[in-house]
Structure 1
Amino acid sequence: MVTSRRTPVGRVLAYLESTKNLAGGACGLVGLGLTWAGVAGAYWPVVVAGLYGAGALIAPPARIVTPCFPDPARRLGGVREDLDRLREYVGEVELPPAAEGKLGELLDVYAALLEPGWPAEVLAGEPEAVHALSRAIRLDVPEAVDAYNRARWWTRLNPGGESPERHLERQLSVLSEEAERVTADLRETEARRQQTHTTYLEGRRES
């Protein structure tokens, strides 16, 4: 049974296994050796305890293992697979021509941003852009299409109000604007990178 390090017993066991305790114990053995050699005299308990404490203080702290998170490329691979599934889903829904065209353009932009290679590398370095793209593919677009499909059925039974087609077009317009902002931010990232390299080269020439 594994004892949690957060409990008192777990903390004691963890300390007994730590490098600090091992180093202190080694120094304490040196103190015992000095005692047996007659160097420590009557103060041998103080000597042993002092050497143990010194060894425990100078020993490096235990290294806590860093949690392993999936690298950005693997995360984007999952988003890319979700985009493929989204395309299949959208292909089965009957959409008005205007919305269908706008949605097709939007999905093409997503695909371009997720294209394996340097475009995806730039995207992977921007967590907010990855979040926005993942949210749009996994939540926003499916919800927009599904809501339209359901509302259209009810509208046929009870006409009136703003048409589902109009709502869908408005939603896709907002998502297209968001995609444009993401693309512009990534373009700005590359522009800053280029400018930084120019500044570096010019500074090296002047030095």
Structure 2
Amino acid sequence: MATSRAAKVLGTGFLSYLESKKNLAGSACGVAGLGLAFAGVGGSFWPVVVAGLYGAGALIAPPERVDPPHYPDVAEQLGVVREDFGRLREYLAEVDLPPAAGGKLAELLELYAALLDPGWVADALAAEPEWVHALSRALRLDVPECVDTYNRTRWWTRFAPGGESPERHLERQLVVLYDEAERVTAGLHEVEAGRQQTHTTYLEERGRS
């Protein structure tokens, strides 16, 4: 089995070399060497001449270009984040939360939806990879962890009551996440305000000229 796999690898490598620029350039030089041999150049050493020209051609040929790996751009990443948001909402629809935390979570989800809604806001967000990363982290990790740890901790408090309630912890966590999302929103507003100011300055300078 291993021998068969090794043979396939060698066969693939050989075929790749046959199609490579090095082999094509070497072959062209080798053909030129054969022409010289037929013309009487090299005498009885014509095989050495042909082999030498082949080797020289293979050496001077440019290396094969290997395409760099493709990584999704920020716009593609934002599409993935939207899919994550959809899955998160499906998960949360099955979860029972206390009214206070449920209300805060609803506000947070509304803010996420506004940021991810296709349009100029999402386009502005896509231009800021760090904010896309922060939003993705919140949807994939932070919010599910908040809800999951709340449910598990609430179960244990029936046997070991005392301390700060799981409900209060959940509310505090959601407040932090909401504040983070608001900072992203404020950052986008600053970007647009700066863009507007730049355009105003441009128009004023153009008017003076």
TM-score scaled by length of structure 2: 0.74
Structure 2 unmatched runs, 5+: none
Q: How does 1:57-206 map to 2 (within 5 A)?
A: 57-70=59-72, 72-190=74-192
Structure 1 unmatched runs, 5+: none
Q: How does 1:30-45 map to 2 (within 5 A)?
A: 30-41=32-43, 44-45=46-47
Instruction: Give 1:131 deviation, angstroms.
Output: 2.4
Distance across 2 between alignment mates of 1:61 and 1:204? 51
Q: Does structure 2 conserve the Cα–Cα contact (< 8 Å) formed by 1:3 and 1:10?
A: no
SS at match of 2:162: coil
Which range moved further: 133-142 or 172-181?
Answer: 172-181
Q: Which residue among 47, 53, 57 is the counterpart of 1:55?
A: 57
Distance across 1 between alignment mates of 2:111 and 2:85? 11
SS at match of 1:160: coil
Instruction: Give 1:45 deviation, angstroms.
Output: 4.6
Instruction: Give 1:188 deviation, angstroms.
Output: 4.9
Distance across 1 between alignment mates of 2:129 and 2:32? 54
Q: Does structure 2 conserve the Cα–Cα contact (< 8 Å) formed by 1:123 and 1:186?
A: yes
Q: Sequence identity of aligned pairs in percent?
A: 70
TM-score scaled by length of structure 1: 0.75
RMSD over equivalenced CA pairs, Å: 3.8
Distance across 1 between alignment mates of 2:5 and 2:47? 35
What is the one-letter code of the residue matched to 1:56?
Answer: A
Give the aligned partner of residue 21 of structure 1.
23
Q: Structure 1 residues 172, 3: CA separation in 2 closer, same or farther (over 3 Å shift)?
A: same
Distance across 2 between alignment mates of 1:62 and 1:103? 54
Q: Does structure 2 conserve the Cα–Cα contact (< 8 Å) formed by 1:40 and 1:47?
A: yes
SS at match of 2:124: helix
Q: Structure 1 residues 79, 96: CA separation in 2 closer, same or farther (over 3 Å shift)?
A: same
Note the alpha carbon deviations across 1:97-117, whole angstroms, 9 max, x for none. 332222112111211221112
